[in-house]
Amino acid sequence: MSVRVRFAPSPTGYLHIGGARTALFNWLYARHCGGKLVLRIEDTDAARNTQEATDAILNGLRWLGLAWDEGPLTGDATGAGRGDRGPYFQSQRRENYQRRVEALLQHDLAYERDGAIRFRMRREATVFEDLIVGEVRRELTDREQEDPDFVIVRSDGQPVFHLTNVVDDLEMGITHVIRGEDHLSNTPKHIALFEAFGVPAPKYAHIPLILNPNGSKMSKRDEGASLQTYVEEGYAPEAVLNYLCLLGWSPKDNQEFLNADELVERFDLPQVLRHNARFDLAKLQWMNGQYLARLNDDRFHELCVHALGRAGIDTNRFPVAYVKAALDTCRGKLKTFSELPGYAGFYFADAVEYDPEAARTQFVAEARPRLLRLREAYAGLGDFNAGMLEAQLKNTAGELGVKAGVLVHPVRLACTGKTSGPSLYHLLEVLGKARVLELLDRALAAIPG
RNA sequence: GGCGCGUUCGUCUAUCGGUUUAGGACGCGGCCCUCUCAAGGCCGAAAGACGGGUUCGACUCCCGUACGCGCUGCCA
């Protein structure tokens, strides 16, 4: 029997980082086994589930590159889907639940009380084998000792999670349920429901949770909990994917950089760790920087242009060769693309704005004659390339009897407005002679004395 | 409270009873490189929660305690 797994998020407004990893593990397992990944939207709570919320999930999964074999195509619950086990929105499956509940009622496996329908739960401990956790033996809690039955349909007619989840997994032919460990304690209920429906329960694999840096459960409002944050801050999806799978899973050989193909090849359920992991933003940032440095030129340029565009910088106003040359000076310098506008914005700005603090320390009277000297030297340069620019600057510094840095800092400030940025000589080369001389003249005019 | 799961450097992890002075990575500190900021190179500090067993031998197996997380809802 071929493997069928599913990712079944509830549209709460965005894709949670923990949910993204659950989706990732499901996707990896499906691909690893040559099985299918089903995406199901658990939107039974109509009041707070909107199409935008579902779109956020779909877009998040697409951004990560996690394609599903069956499921919705858009966030529209009544819209088209792919696959023959739909609908894939729970809000469209009311009849399925009703039919199943009728059957339960008829066989006296459920009963009505106070207007709600309750399932007759077994009255003893449940033992099951979890693919990750191992054998789990769950005794009845004190509350369950008194009354183990639980509600499957509310008095307002709404079916509850335990019921819909099981009915859908059953009808969608799910063979492996890979989900967060927060569901481990619910599993006996689900197994009992499957048995009541006369079918064996699927195999279960509960993955550990992702915690905040302080060890608390990462949820909703927590910093960095939304995948959208990483999309917006210019992370490379391949880096986020790589980092996420290292939370709770390890290739065991100290290799940390794995692309999607390698992950699919090596991922398997038994190697998933059993304990929760804390989310470490610093390591994600480092890893993202590594990915950025290794991206091929086209992809790097593409993502750069995108990031600049988001910041309101339109690179289309400039020659393609200029843009590429400018961006090349940023290679290996960024940890995230959100840093790019501030780092390379000067290449595309009409006027340079001097950092006030830096201007106060660099644009002082003594700097004026030195800058003037360099300006004249640069004006006489035929070949305006990095090598020549460096040689000339050092030469001028020598004549002035100062260290190179004494010239470097004011020149950088004059041309970029900042105290840090790409390699000075390379940046000057990209800017070009005319522009550099113009910028130096402007700086000279701004320096007192 | 009850039930379940977990516990190796600050963090992510390797180790699946002896090959280990417990390895790698992030972060942190130092040095080098250097036009700034990064990157890169080198070096360093840093861990088996605690207590009992089992065993010739335990981080690794068992029990207890502590701590953490989860579930305990007519939320999902």
Q: What is the DSSP string of A329-364?
A: TTTTT-SSGGGHHHHHGGGG-SS----HHHHHHHSS
User: Which protein residue's Cα is closest to nucleotide B70 at C1'?
Assistant: A182
CA of residue A255 to C1' of nucleotide B57, angstroms: 32
| Mean pLDDT of the region A374-397 | 92
User: Which protein residue's Cα is closest to nucleotide B13 at C1'?
Assistant: A250
Rounded CA Rg of chain A: 30
| Mean pLDDT of the region A329-342 | 91
Residue A21 predicted with pLDDT over 90: yes
Q: Does residue A220 carry a catalytic annotation?
A: yes
CA of residue A184 to C1' of nucleotide B73, angstroms: 17
Catalytic residue among A220, A283, A324, A418: A220
CA of residue A220 to C1' of nucleotide B8, angstroms: 30
CA of residue A385 to C1' of nucleotide B33, angstroms: 23
Which amino acid belongs to residue A214? Answer: N
**Residue percentage of chain A with pLDDT more than 70:** 99
Strand B footprint nucleotides (protein C-beta < 7 Å): 1-8, 10-15, 23-27, 35-40, 68-76
User: Which protein residue's Cα is closest to nucleotide B37 at C1'?
Assistant: A420
| Mean pLDDT of the region A186-192 | 97
A217/A410: higher pLDDT: A410
| Nucleotide nearest to A163 in CA–C1' terms | B76
Contact A123, A140 (CB under 8 A): yes
Reported pTM: 0.92
| Mean pLDDT of the region A52-73 | 95
What per-residue confidence (pLDDT) applies to A221? 73
Give the C-alpha separation, A132 to A290, whole Å: 31
Nearest to A407 by CA among A442, A352, A369: A369
| Mean pLDDT of the region A71-81 | 91
- Reported as a pLDDT band with limits 50, 70 and 90, residue A319 is very high
Q: How many residues does chain A have?
A: 449
What per-residue confidence (pLDDT) applies to A48? 64
CA of residue A211 to C1' of nucleotide B59, angstroms: 24
CA of residue A286 to C1' of nucleotide B24, angstroms: 16
Nearest to A25 by CA among A208, A242, A267, A238: A267
Which amino acid belongs to residue A75? Answer: G
Give the C-alpha separation, A226 to A231, whole Å: 9
What per-residue confidence (pLDDT) applies to A46? 60
Residue A139 predicted with pLDDT over 80: yes
Contact A39, A72 (CB under 8 A): yes
Residue A294 predicted with pLDDT over 70: yes
What is the interface pTM, i.e. ipTM, of the complex? Answer: 0.95
A188/A50: higher pLDDT: A188
| Nucleotide nearest to A137 in CA–C1' terms | B4
CB atoms within 10 A of CB A391: 13
| Nucleotide nearest to A277 in CA–C1' terms | B12
Mean pLDDT of chain A: 93
CA angle A322, A323, A326 (to 5 degrees): 85
| Nucleotide nearest to A189 in CA–C1' terms | B71
| Nucleotide nearest to A287 in CA–C1' terms | B26
What per-residue confidence (pLDDT) applies to A95? 95
Residues 6+ apart with CB under 8 A from A237: A63, A64, A65
User: Which protein residue's Cα is closest to nucleotide B40 at C1'?
Assistant: A332
The CB-side HSE value for A412 (13 A sphere, CA atoms) comes to 22
User: Which protein residue's Cα is closest to nucleotide B38 at C1'?
Assistant: A333
Residues 6+ apart with CB under 8 A from A347: A318, A322, A326, A427, A430, A431
